[in-house]
Amino acid sequence: MQRSSIVIIIVAVILLILASLPLLSRLNKKAPPMDQITAQQWLDNACAIAQNRDIDGLMNLCAPDARIFGRDTAQCRLLLVQLYKQAGSEPIKIDISNLRVSANSSTATVDFTADVTQMGDSSGIDWIKSNYRLILQKREIKHWFGLYHTERWQVIEADGEIPQE
């Protein structure tokens, strides 16, 4: 390839990147204000992830510095592995009730009752029913080496009863 061809390709790539910057700025998404509806949607998503036994998905809902039931995120990940192993392969159903939300622009406290049932062949077995409190914070998540970012609610603290290890 000739030197002039390489220069033309480099200039074309730079122009393409510059042309795409306005598009990337449109990808910058803000988290919605935390209210009752947003909290219910957030919890419904979290329940679906938990019912699918997606540990990585659950951990992505948490900030890296979160304290979950008095544990850091690495300890929480190990606890989830152990709990899912203990549950076996039978489906898990999670029902949320008594949802209460208190929020400002960047932090929210979400209180709720979760009823976790392990579904068997003929009926469900109550695994745990307890009250929980999540403290969520809006966090900026950078993508593509910081070219654009999104904002989402992440757990920074969780308290409540967990099944015995």
Length in residues, the chain: 165
Residue 131 is predicted with a pLDDT of: 93
In a domain, 45, yes or no: yes
In a domain, 2, yes or no: no
Q: Two tokens at 40? A: 């219910």
In a domain, 12, yes or no: no
Q: How many domains does the chain have?
A: 1
Residue 140 is predicted with a pLDDT of: 85
In a domain, 3, yes or no: no
Which amino acid is located at 131 in the chain?
Answer: N
Which amino acid is located at 47 in the chain?
Answer: C
In a domain, 8, yes or no: no
Give the pTM.
0.76
Residue 86 is predicted with a pLDDT of: 82
In a domain, 121, yes or no: yes
C-alpha to C-alpha distance for 162 and 127, rounded to whole angstroms:
10
CATH of the domain at 79: 3.10.450.50
Task: Show the domain range for 48.
Answer: 29-160
Which amino acid is located at 18 in the chain?
Answer: L
Residue 155 is predicted with a pLDDT of: 95
In a domain, 21, yes or no: no
Per-residue pLDDT of the chain (165 residues; tens, 9 = 90+): 577 777 778 877 777 666 665 555 555 577 788 999 999 999 999 999 999 999 999 999 999 999 999 999 999 999 889 888 887 888 888 999 999 999 898 999 999 999 988 876 556 567 788 899 999 999 988 766 666 678 889 999 999 887 665
Strand 62-68 versus strand 148-160 pairing type:
parallel
In a domain, 165, yes or no: no
Element at 33 (helix H, strand E): none
Strand partners, 112: 132
C-alpha to C-alpha distance for 72 and 23, rounded to whole angstroms:
37
Locate tokens 């510059």: which residue? 18
C-alpha to C-alpha distance for 5 and 139, rounded to whole angstroms:
44
Residue 35 is predicted with a pLDDT of: 93
Residue 153 is predicted with a pLDDT of: 93
